[in-house]
Amino acid sequence: MSDLFSISVLLTRNVDASEYDSISLCFAGGLFYKASESNLQYVTSTTFLLLTYAKYLGSNGGVARCGGSTVTAESLIAQAKKQVDYILGDNPARMSYMVGFGNRYPQHVHHRGSSVPSIHAHPNRISCNDGFQFLYSSSPNPNVLVGAIIGGPDNRDNFADDRNNYQQSEPATYINAPFVGALAFFSAKN
């Protein structure tokens, strides 16, 4: 069974996610969980796929059936919205995992461009090896990487805002790209 359809089935009935060895459905705060390193890459991709599948269902009969379960476009959209809301701050930590969004977001992003001071603040050349002093600093990043989505919390909704913990604090285009698709979906709905 594909991950997407497995998730779809699990969303509509009370099934133990351990029945499917490829996914783990959610943890306490309601976020999908797949792996400890950059888990939000799986969440944003799955969210985008759920919305794509919901759009397909909406255009082709509106439901999918598997055994005794019925998956509707509305149930997929609702679950995708929960994932988007979690990423943007509706979670136990009340933290947005999109840098620069909301009142509380990561301050120690694992990203050289945001952790090394600007040329205005530090006019002298910073060599590659000299950059490590900024990587290991406990100070917030001097440059805010607005819009970047980082790896996200662990399987217990815990997040260490530490740029040395790349598993949780590193941004990536493969995390952001599917999230843009999900946001476009919800923007078009409004």
Give catalytic residue positions: 110, 161, 170
For residues 162 and 174, give the distance between their C-alpha atoms in angstroms, rounded to a whole number.
21
- Map 56-71 to HEC letters: HHHHCCCEEEECCEEE
Looking from the CA of 86 toward its CB, the CA atoms found within 13 Å total: 23
Sequence-ordered list of residues with C-beta below 8 angstroms from that of 113, at least 6 positions apart, any chain: 143, 145
Give the residue among 167, 163, 173, 168 at the shortest CA–CA distance from 143.
163
